[in-house]
Structures are given as C-alpha cells and as structure tokens.
Structure 1
C-alpha cells in the first residue's frame, strides 16, 4: 500500500493493432542475446567444483524467452501498453485511449517499480504451441528473487504470456476495456476492508498501552501502527475517517470511495465500543459515507 505517485509517460505511438507487437524481438533482431543463468543441473556430488557455476542460454529473437525478456523490459520502462500487448490481457487494454490508460498509472506502477533491473532467464522449454520459460523474479519477499515458471501460448506466429488463467481470460474477452476498471474497483474494495481491519488491530494495540483509550488516525500513523497512505486516496482509492467518542473508549472508522463507480462502489463502516469484536459492514451507498 505504500506506493508513491510518479509521472507516467506514454509514447506517442503505441501498439494498437494485432500486428503491432507481432515482432517482439525488434530490439534484438540484429543481434543475438545471451542471458547468464544459474545452471539447474549441477551435480550435488560436485558441489565444491561447481560452486557458483554459471551457464548461458541463447535467446533467439521472437522466441518465448525473448518475449519474457521484452515484457519485463517494457514493465521496467513503464511502457505498460506494450508490455500488456505481449500477454493474454491484451483485449483489456487494446481498446483503451491514452487518457483512459493513464487512469491506471498508480496501479501499473506498483508492478513496474517492483521489477528488478536484471531479469535472469534460466531456461526455456517448447512443446508444440506451449512453452515454459524459467526466470529469477521477486517472490513473496519483494527483496529476494526466486526461479519462477512463466507459461506461454503460441497464437499464430506470436508467443504470448499467459498472465491469467482460462476463466479470467474468458472474462477479459467479455468485459474488454472495462476489465481493468472493474478489477480496480474490486481490488480497492478488498483493500478498504483490509485497511479497516488493520485500523481495528492498531486501535486495540494502542489501547492496550494507554489504559483502554483509542487514538485518532494521525496518532496511530505516528506510532507506526498504520501506513502513511491512509491519509489520502491517491493510491488507495478510498477516503478514511476515524471518529472517537468523548471518552476515547469507542471508535468508528469509515471508508468511502474517492470517486464512486471509478475507485470503488461500496462504502464501509467499522464500529467498536471496546468490549465486542469490531464488525465491518458495507453496502453500495451511492458513494456516500455509511452511518450507524
């Protein structure tokens, strides 16, 4: 949730037609790429001799490995349209105008900023119209990389990355350019519920140290119990407000869409009198705050 807003620049000419991204090896068509990779077949019995052993795989232009390499290159460069055109998410973005695409700036940059500078391609397996590429990518711990498998499918003469499963791909084809808008709404609503749960836990952690008294948002943030972005809807899509009773032994927290129908549809309310398990209620209230 601690995402910073950066200036998002789009190229004047992006891939807008199916043929626009067919040749994903344009950056490398005139030279052979070689990626250094960890040798996955080191003999355990030769651990001393092979310690730190590195090998290389040759990456041919327009091959599955080249598509993966180009995809992450585009993400790092924040060329999100070009990157997504290399995946089965393409129907969700090819109908978007540049103005519409900019609306997802913060959401896409969360991904782009997490891509390491060097992606190590460690293997490529092709079987008919399917392929698997192995690469070192951030795992659950964003500060560490691990070998992950990236699946691809050949459509005509082009390899595409399977970013989503068949069910999601069918949904994307059905919703088209509305897919990211609806997905963002769902994501922001899930995050709003999670944030209210986090506020609840922060309040009780604070109260345990303060004789049962709760605190306002700023106090919880300064105590390191809540992230800074709870102050603004810039990255969360929701406005958060916290109200304390005069005795500071009851609190009510609200989460309301910053832009109804765009950043979220559901409004949320969390209430606690300090004696019962806090409950979160939500409903579509037309973008207005809920009340008890």
Structure 2
C-alpha cells in the first residue's frame, strides 16, 4: 500500500510519488525505541521527534526529506529517495515544470514531523512518523521504509519493478507518470461533472447547466475552470433546449499535460458514457 499522504496528492506529486512509501500503511504502535543496531553519532537531532535521532540515521533521513520538501528544495528531497534517477537528468528549467505538482504536496507538510520510531535490521530500516492522512485533515502514524546503499540511507518510494523502470526511463519517468495521472484526474473530473448535472437536473425540471452555474450551486469545485490542478480544460455544451449536454476534457498542453481527449455523452437512458482517444490535443466532438 502506498504512502497515504503523498499517494493522495500526485499530481499532485500526485502523481509523481504515485506509490510513495512501500507498505506505508498506518503503524500499530508509536514510540518504538531505536534498536541497538541503529546508526550511532555524537550529533543528535531532536526537532519534532519523540525519539533521539542520530545524524545520518534512517530517522534523520526521513526528517531531512520532509524538511527539504516543505522548504521547496525538491531536487534535494528526491535525491534522498529511490526516485533519484528520475530527477538527476532534469535541468532546473525542466524541474520547474513540476513546481505546481510539488508545491501542492509541500504545503501540507507540517512544520515539524513527529518521528516516533526507528527499527534497523542490517541494511533495511523502518521509520514511523505522524503524517497527514488521505484527506489531509488529520494525521496518523505511518511507516517509511529505507535501504542503505554505499553507507547512505535511501527512502524507498517505489517497489523493485518500478525502480528498474525508473532507471531505464530516467527523467522521462516523471513526464509519463504525470500524463497518466492527469488522464485519471480528467476522468474523475468528468465523472464529477456528470454527477453535478444529475443533481442540477433533479432540482431544475430535467434541464442541465453550464459549468459556471454548477459552480455557483456548489456542485463543482472552482478549479474545474483552470487547467492548473489537472492539466486539462473542461467544457460543457448544452443541446435540445438544455435537456441534453455533452462534456469534454482536452489537454491544456498536448504531450505534456496529457495526450488523450475525453468526451462524455448521454445515451438513450440519459446515462453518461465516457470515451477517449488521442486526438492530437483537439477536443472530441459529439
């Protein structure tokens, strides 16, 4: 199961950290004392922790990762994970293309991360910390897995299969993952539009509405009018004296924010039907 905090946000990152911490489910116990095999150092760090954190230990790596993430030092943060090969080849200009995605996650990182457990077994470690849950409103104890490589602890953000793919794809991995995530988000938003139309029609004699009216009725979020969060442009076209409609989702930047164009039409039973295809960045037509 992926790390809940970041998993709920990509593309937000949400998407870049699609399965952030391997087996990052809620831990059953807190305040686990570090075992005798934990890294030792004369320099201890105690910020936000309920255990003693030794410099360069697994717990310290987790602390520094979230500190870098919160302070928007995204390259430095990702370098501490096994996603590193996906960012090493990115120029600063290319990295800025993901700034919106990264910042959407960074703003939810607490000023201090409560780290309350560290278990080390050879070159494998598990750190427990209190992090935001899936809805970002509450926090819970979650696990972070790490692996020691050449004396340095690395946060395991993806499994071995994905790790091999990342090494093969390099920086292209982030671009492909972002597009895949935006495709999923476009489908989700179109589903929300369809549900909003059903509610609106039930309240207005079977007639449908354009997007601004659905937002005004609090049936849709305002960000449906912007491509910033999902990479897509959405449109609703009313037909037959407002008794029918079709909706579209089109990539804001074809090849970068998405490749597929989406179309939702109503069938004979007025049920929404979704189709999609690579339309070279152009809207699909009813």
Scaled by the length of structure 2, the TM-score of the pair is 0.83
Structure 2 partner of 1:33: 45
Which is greater in Rg? 1
Given that residues 139 and 146 in structure 1 are in contact (C-alpha distance below 8 angstroms), is that contact kept between their aligned partners in structure 2? yes
1:256 to 237, 250, 255: 250
Structure 2 unpaired stretches of 5+: 1-7, 11-40
1:104 to 98, 104, 113: 98
Structure 1 partner of 2:222: 228
Structure 1 partner of 2:82: 88
Structure 1 SS opposite 2:207: coil
Structure 1 partner of 2:182: 188
Q: Structure 1 residue 198 and structure 2 residue 192: aligned?
A: yes
Scaled by the length of structure 1, the TM-score of the pair is 0.82
Kindly report which structure 2 residues correspond to 1:22-61, keeping only aligned pairs within 5 A, or say none.
Answer: 31-35=43-47, 56-61=50-55
2:283 to 265, 279, 289: 289
Give the Cα–Cα distance (whole angstroms) in 2 for the partners of residues 279 and 80 of structure 1. Answer: 39
2:129 to 127, 135, 149: 135
Give the Cα–Cα distance (whole angstroms) in 2 for the partners of residues 35 and 118 of structure 1. Answer: 7
Give the Cα–Cα distance (whole angstroms) in 2 for the partners of residues 119 and 266 of structure 1. Answer: 39
Structure 1 partner of 2:30: none
After the TM superposition, list the runs of 4 or more consecutive aligned residues in structure 1 that deviate by more than 4 angstroms.
Answer: none
CA deviation vs aligned residue, 1:38-62 (integer Å, no higher than 9, x gap): xxxxxxxxxxxxxxxxxx4211110
Query: How far does residue 31 in structure 1 lie from its aligned partner after superposition?
Result: 4.4
1:177 to 167, 171, 176: 171
Structure 1 partner of 2:156: 162
Given that residues 2 and 228 in structure 1 are in contact (C-alpha distance below 8 angstroms), is that contact kept between their aligned partners in structure 2? no
Query: How far does residue 136 in structure 1 lie from its aligned partner after superposition?
Result: 0.3
CA RMSD of aligned residues (A): 1.9
Structure 1 partner of 2:210: 216
Structure 2 SS opposite 1:57: coil
Structure 2 SS opposite 1:132: strand
Structure 1 unpaired stretches of 5+: 4-28, 38-55
Question: How many residues end up aligned between the 2 structures?
Answer: 249
Query: How far does residue 277 in structure 1 lie from its aligned partner after superposition?
Result: 1.6
Query: How far does residue 35 in structure 1 lie from its aligned partner after superposition?
Result: 4.8
Give the Cα–Cα distance (whole angstroms) in 2 for the partners of residues 2 and 219 of structure 1. Answer: 27
Structure 1 partner of 2:69: 75
CA deviation vs aligned residue, 1:65-122 (integer Å, no higher than 9, x gap): 0000000000110110000000000000011000000000111111111111121010
Give the Cα–Cα distance (whole angstroms) in 2 for the partners of residues 172 and 115 of structure 1. Answer: 25
Higher relative contact order (CA 8 A, sep 6+): 2
Given that residues 256 and 267 in structure 1 are in contact (C-alpha distance below 8 angstroms), is that contact kept between their aligned partners in structure 2? yes
Given that residues 249 and 274 in structure 1 are in contact (C-alpha distance below 8 angstroms), is that contact kept between their aligned partners in structure 2? no
Structure 2 partner of 1:21: none
